[in-house]
Amino acid sequence: MTARRKLIAGNWKMNGLKADGLALASDLAGRVNGAGATAFDLLICPPFPLLFPVADAIAGSALALGGQDCAAKTSGAHTGDVAPTMLTDAGCRYVILGHSERRADHGESDALIAAKAAAAHAQGLIAIICVGETESQRDAGQANAVVSGQLAGSIPAGATAANTVIAYEPVWAIGTGKTATPEDVRAVHAHIRAELEGKIADAGAAKILYGGSVKPSNAAELMAVENVDGALVGGASLKADDFWAIATSCR
Ligand SMILES: O=C[C@H](O)COP(=O)(O)O
């Protein structure tokens, strides 16, 4: 099996003001700095207004920074949008794209997500492309088909294992406390691994994260599942102790 270093990503979503974000980021940077060699890379994705101050707070640390979205365009008359260059200017290495909350709240299509990912790649960002089925789709036995369609439509030409991470997030498990069973996760991640062939260069080295109610009590079991190469964590990433416990459960 290809060895893939774990990535533990914290998606703060629309939570926290400057003081909260700086305290959390500084706490995590201190833990990363003091940990020595780890089995994981740690990433935080704060809301846009916090990127610059958080970048200053974690400067010199191995804690990585990412955005929660970016535009498909590089600049211009696009009110409210944030260009990939603005993320790199703020010190970001990663950007989350196609999160189910963006797909639902903003009507983002697979084609738009692919365009955003291509724009992110052009600026040297690593795109974390999110996929996952709803509860009704799972109940109808469509989980793999839905994920296949999202992968086919959302991964741009030029994607490689170095510039693209896939996050499998079953919508029904996000923020609900319902976690997919290790067997559910194993089956979908194996399906995604097979689907990446031909869509991502060096597909066997591409990371596939699991997201959806990951917490300290279930992290070790989930992170041990084959083809689970880390986690995309929402609620539990807002508490340093919980997020660090999830990360250090990686072996
Ligand atoms: O991006 C993170 C996911 O939506 C998971 O969120 P959650 O850990 O709060 O369920």
What is the number of structural domains in the chain? Answer: 1
How far is Cα 85 from Cα 89, in angstroms, rounded to an integer?
6
Q: Per residue of the chain (251 residues), give pLDDT as tens.
A: 468 999 999 999 999 999 999 999 999 999 999 998 999 999 999 999 999 999 999 999 999 999 999 999 999 999 999 999 999 999 999 999 999 999 999 999 999 999 999 999 999 999 999 999 999 999 999 999 999 999 999 999 999 999 999 999 999 999 998 888 999 999 999 999 999 999 999 999 999 999 999 999 999 999 999 999 999 999 999 999 999 999 999 97
Catalytic residues: 99, 169
**Cβ–Cβ < 8 Å for 44, 63:** yes
What residue numbers does the annotated binding site cover? 11-13, 175, 213, 234-235
Residue 241 in any domain: the answer is: yes
Cβ 45 under 6 angstroms from ligand 1: no
Cβ 21 under 6 angstroms from ligand 1: no
Q: What is the ipTM of this complex?
A: 0.99
Residue in this structure with the two tokens 């958080």, named with its chain if needed? 54
Ligand 1 centroid to residue 77 C-alpha, Å: 32
Domain that holds residue 119: 14-247
Residue 82 in any domain: the answer is: yes
What CATH number corresponds to the domain at position 136? 3.20.20.70
Q: Is 19 exposed, middle or buried (0-12, 13-18, 19+ CB in 10 A)?
A: exposed
- Residues 6+ away with beta carbon under 8 Å from 251: 39, 220, 223, 224
pTM for this model (two decimals)? 0.98
Cβ 175 under 6 angstroms from ligand 1: yes
